[in-house]
Amino acid sequence: MGGKVTCTLGEVKNRADFIVYWGGNPAECHPRHFTKYTIMQKSRFLPRGRKDRTMVLVDIRETKSVKAADIFLQVRPGKDFELITVLRAMIKDQPVDDSAIAEIGLQRSDLEDLVARMKRAKFGVMFFGMGLSMTRGKHMNSAALLTLAAEMNAFTKFVAMPMRGHGNVTGADVVMRWQTGYPFGVSYHRGYPRYNPGEFSTVDVLVRGDTDCVFVLGADPGATMPQPAIEHLKRVPTIVLDPHVTHTSRLANVHITTAPAGIAAAGTAYRMDEIALPLRPAIDSPYPSDFEVVRRIHEAIRQKPDWRVRSPWIERQLDAAH
C-alpha cells in the first residue's frame, strides 16, 4: 500500500466519465471545480458533457453538493475506512459479511451498483476531501482510497486526487519536497532535513512550546489551531506576514501587511494537481510582496555573525590564515 495514482485536472476534464467526491463539499469549498474541471465540461471524448458523466458523492451528511450528484451515499460517521475496505473486497469478488455492510450504514445493493458502475467506467476519478483525510483514521483513510484507485486499474482506468485548498498549500508542499525531500513537518535542527509528522509539524511544535520565535506566512494558526498552540503564540515573539489582519495578527508582536499574491503581487501558485501557474498582479499595492519582506529580513539576518557549521575546508583556510 502506498503511492498515488493520479493525473492533471485536464485529464479529468477530457476523459472522466465517472467522478466520485468523497468527504468534501466542492459546491461550497471549491465552487469552480465542477464547471472548470469535472462534471460540466464537454470534451472530445465526452461531447455531451454532464450527460456523459456520472457523479457520486460520499459524505456523512447532505451538503449543497448533493444536488449536483447522480448518486449520494451517506456513510455513517467514522466508517469511511470500512467502506473503502469493503469496496476493495467487492471489486475483487471477495465475500463480504452483511454485518460489515450494515455497520457502514449502506445497503448491499447500493454498493453492488457502485462497484458495477466503477468497473463500467472508461475513466474513473476519486477526489477526496478533509471529511476523509482529517476524520477518524486520517492518513490511513487516504491511503486506503488511493489503494482502491490503484487496484481499480486491474479493470479500467482509475485515478484519485486530494482536494487541496488553503491558498498555495500545494506550492509549499512541492517546494519543501525538492529542497528537503519531505512535504511538511520538517526539522532543520540538526542542520539537515528530518521528517516526523506528530513531532515536527507546526501544531505539535507549538503545543509542546518548543519554539522561542514564530514566523507566520500565508496561514492563520490563531484561527485554526488548538488553544495550547495559540497560548504559545502569545507567549513568544510572533511575526505575521499577511495582506489582512488575521486572528494570528491580533496575538502577534509584529504584523507586516503585504500585497496579496495574484492581485497586487507576482508569483507562482501550484494547482492541486501540482501544475505551476504564474501569478500576475492586476493592480498596484502600496505594500511590499511577501517575497520582498522575506528577502529583506534575510538580508538583515545575514549581517549578523554566521553561526553555521563551517566546512572542514573553511576551517583549514582559517587555520592557515592565523
Partner 1 sequence: MLRIKGGRIYDPERNINGQVEDICIQDGKIVASVDEDAPTLDATGLIVFPGGVDVHTHVAGGAINFARAMSPEDHRRAQAFIRTQTTRGGIGGYAPTTFATGYLYAGMGWTTVNEAAVPVLSARHTHEELHDIPVLDKSLLVLMANNEILLDLLDTGEHERAKDVVAWYLWAAKAYGVKAVNPGGVAAWKWGHDAKQLSTPIDGYQRVTPGDIITHLARIVDELHLPHPMHLHCNNLGAPGNVATTLETMERLEGHRAHLAHLQYHAYGGDDWDSMRSAAAQVAEYFNASPHLTTDAGVVLFGDTVTITADGPWQHLLYKLTGRKWGNLDVENETGCGIVPYTYKRTNLVNAVQWAVGLELLLLIDDPWRVFLTTDHPNGACFWRYPEILHLLMCRDFRRECWNTFPDRIKQRIVLPELDREYTLLEIATIISAGPAKALGLNTKGGLAPGKDADLVLYSPNQDVAQMFSHPRYVIKAGQIVVEEGEIRSTPAGREIIFQPGFSPDVESYLRERFEDCYTMSFENYPVEMERVENPLIQSADPSGQS
List residues binding partner 1 (CB under 8 A): 1-11, 13-15, 36-37, 43-44, 122-123, 150, 153-154, 156-157, 159, 174-175, 177-183, 188, 190-193, 195, 268, 270, 274-278, 306, 308-314
The answer to whether residues 131 and 59 touch, using CB atoms and an 8 Å cutoff, is yes
For partner 1, which is the closer residue by CB, 178 or 301?
Answer: 178
Under 8 Å CB-to-CB from 50, ≥6 apart: which residues?
39, 40
Closer residue to partner 1, CB minimum distance, 74 or 187: 187
Buried b (16+ CB within 10 A) or exposed e, 144-170: bbbbbbbbbeeeebbbbbbbbeeebbb
Q: Which bin fits 235, alpha (ψ -120 to 50), beta or left (φ > 0)?
A: alpha
Element (H, E) at 283: none
- Nearest distance from C-beta of residue 36 to partner 1, angstroms: 7
Instruction: Identify which of residues 74 and 201 has a Cβ nearer to partner 1 in the complex.
Output: 201
3-state secondary structure of 127: strand
- What minimum distance in Å lies between the beta carbon of 170 and partner 1? 11
Pick 134 or 277: Cβ nearer partner 1: 277
Fill in the DSSP letter of residue 52: G
Q: CB nearer to partner 1: give 198 or 278.
A: 278
Nearest approach, Cβ of residue 49 and partner 1 (Å):
13
Of 61, 55, 110, 66, residue with least CA distance to 87: 110
Smallest gap from residue 290 Cβ to partner 1 (A): 16
109 versus 311: smaller Cβ distance to partner 1: 311
CB of 258 to partner 1, least distance (A): 21
Q: Exposure pattern of 270-279 as b/e (b: 16+ CB <10 Å)? A: bebbeeeeee
Nearest to 164 by CA among 236, 269, 291, 319: 269
Nearer to partner 1, 36 or 138 (CB): 36
Minimum CB distance to partner 1, residue 265 (Å): 15
Following DSSP, what letter does each residue of 238-274 receive, concatenated? EEEEESS--HHHHH-SEEEE-PPBTTTB-EEEE-TTS
Q: For strands 254-257 and 238-242, give the pairing.
A: parallel
Nearest in space to 163 (alpha carbons), one of 213, 200, 199, 127: 127
| Minimum separation from the CB atom of position 274 to partner 1 (A) | 6
Q: Which of 13, 75, 86, 81 is nearest to 44 (CA)?
A: 13
Closest CB 230 distance from partner 1, rounded Å:
30
